[in-house]
C-alpha cells in the first residue's frame, strides 16, 4: 500500500463528506497518516433517467470503485453500506464499519411549506419507501426521482414535487437537518439494511490495522443480522425488503418487512442474543414467508 492512502469515493458532495468522516476519525489516532480522496463517477450516478431496479440495482454505485480498488489506483473505498449487495466481492472485503448515523427515513417539504399537499407527486427512489409511505398517506401519487441530494432538493423547491422521502443520515451529514419535516419511526417506515452505516472496503491481504479504532462493533453486529435477512430473502431482486436491528444490553431486536408476490406486506420482529445475530436475521426472514412463497420469491 502507498504511503499516502488513496480513498476512493463517489463523485458527490455527500460521498466526499462521508470519505472525510472516515479520514478524520482515523487521523485522531493515526495523525501521521496522509490521505488523498480520489473521486470516481459510478454507473449509478450516470444513469439518472431509469429506476435502479431496471438497470442493475444498488451494485451500480460501487462497480467502478471496486474496479479501481482491485486495480490498485485506490487503497480503500468508502461506501454507504446500504448501497452494497449482500454478497462481498471476492478479494475485496469490508474491513471496517462506521458508527451508525440516524437510520430513519424522513419527509422533506418544499422551502416555506408547512404541510404536505396532494397537488403534486411525492418523490422517492425506493420501492421500499414507496410501499410504506402509501400505508401512511393514502391517495398520494409517488413518482421516482434520481440524482444526488442537492439535485433532488432543487427539483422539490422548483415545484416538481410536493415532498421527498430521503434518508436522515444523508441530510445530517450534509448539515441539512433544517429541511426535515417529519422523521418516520421504525413502526412507520422500516429502513434499508445497514442504512446510516459507512463501509470501508479494502483488498485481501493488505494491512488495515489503522482502521481498528474506527471500526464499530455494534454496527458490525446489527449489519450481520440485517444483511443475512436480506440474503435469505434474495435481496438482489426488485421485490422490496426492509430490516432494522437494535441492541439492548446483549439482546438484538430485529424488525423486518417482506412484500410477497401478490403485493401483501408482512412485517415482524424477533429478538435474541447478539451472538446469534446472523441466525436471527435468517429466522425472521423465514417467518415472513411460507415455504412455497420462499421458493417462488427468488428472481
State the average pLDDT over residues 232-245.
79
Q: pLDDT tens digit string along 71-104?
A: 999 999 999 999 898 888 999 999 999 999 999 9
Active site residue 45: no
Same domain, 15 and 94: yes
Same domain, 47 and 155: no
Domain span at 239: 216-299
Q: Which of 45, 75, 83, 105 is catalytic?
A: 83
| CA 157 to mean position of chain CA atoms | 25
The answer to whether residues 86 and 227 touch, using CB atoms and an 8 Å cutoff, is: yes
Same domain, 173 and 224: no
Which cell numbers hold the place of 11? 463523485
Q: pLDDT tens digit string along 126-163?
A: 999 999 999 999 999 999 998 899 999 999 999 999 99
Same domain, 16 and 143: no
Residues sharing a CB contact under 8 Å with residue 264, sequence separation 6 or more, in sequence order: none
Same domain, 79 and 201: yes
Q: Is residue 191 part of a domain?
A: no
Cα 92 to Cα 185: distance, rounded to the nearest angstrom: 34
Same domain, 206 and 93: yes
Q: Residue 130 belongs to a domain with what CATH number? A: 3.40.190.10
Cα 129 to Cα 214: distance, rounded to the nearest angstrom: 30
Number of Cβ within a 10 Å radius of residue 148: 18
Q: Is residue 131 part of a domain?
A: yes
Residues sharing a CB contact under 8 Å with residue 54, sequence separation 6 or more, in sequence order: none
Amino acid at each position: 500500500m502507498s504511503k499516502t492512502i488513496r480513498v476512493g469515493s463517489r463523485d458527490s458532495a455527500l460521498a466526499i463528506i462521508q470519505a472525510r468522516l472516515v479520514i478524520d476519525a482515523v487521523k485522531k489516532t493515526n495523525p501521521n497518516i496522509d490521505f488523498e480522496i480520489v473521486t470516481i463517477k459510478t454507473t449509478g450516478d450516470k444513469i439518472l433517467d431509469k429506476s435502479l431496479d431496471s438497470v442493475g440495482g444498488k451494485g451500480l454505485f460501487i462497480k467502478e470503485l471496486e474496479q479501481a480498488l482491485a486495480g490498485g489506483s485506490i487503497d480503500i473505498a468508502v461506501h454507504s453500506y446500504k448501497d452494497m449487495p449482500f454478497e462481498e466481492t471476492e478479494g475485496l472485503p469490508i474491513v471496517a464499519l462506521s458508527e451508525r448515523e440516524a437510520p430513519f427515513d424522513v419527509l422533506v417539504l418544499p422551502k416555506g411549506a408547512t404541510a404536505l399537499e396532494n397537488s403534486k407527486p411525492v418523490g422517492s427512489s425506493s420501492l421500499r419507501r414507496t410501499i410504506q409511505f402509501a400505508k401512511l398517506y393514502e391517495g398520494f401519487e409517488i413518482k421516482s426521482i434520481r440524482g444526488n441530494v442537492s439535485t433532488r432538493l432543487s427539483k422539490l423547491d422548483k415545484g416538481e414535487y410536493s415532498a421527498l422521502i430521503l434518508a436522515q443520515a444523508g441530510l445530517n451529514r450534509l448539515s441539512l437537518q433544517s429541511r426535515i419535516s417529519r422523521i418516520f419511526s421504525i413502526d412507520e417506515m422500516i429502513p434499508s439494511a445497514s442504512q446510516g452505516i459507512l463501509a470501508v472496503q479494502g483488498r485481501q491481504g493488505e494491512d488495515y490495522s489503522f482502521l481498528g479504532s474506527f471500526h464499530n462493533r455494534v454496527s458490525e453486529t446489527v449489519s450481520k443480522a440485517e444483511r443475512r435477512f436480506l440474503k435469505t430473502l434474495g435481496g438482489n431482486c426488485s421485490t422490496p425488503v426492509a430490516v432494522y436491528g437494535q441492541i439492548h444490553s446483549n439482546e438484538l431486536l430485529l424488525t423486518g418487512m417482506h412484500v410477497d408476490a401478490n403485493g401483501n406486506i408482512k412485517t415482524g420482529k424477533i429478538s435474541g442474543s447478539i451472538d446469534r445475530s446472523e441466525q436471527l436475521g435468517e429466522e425472521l426472514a423465514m417467518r415472513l414467508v411460507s415455504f412455497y412463497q420462499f421458493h417462488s420469491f427468488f428472481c
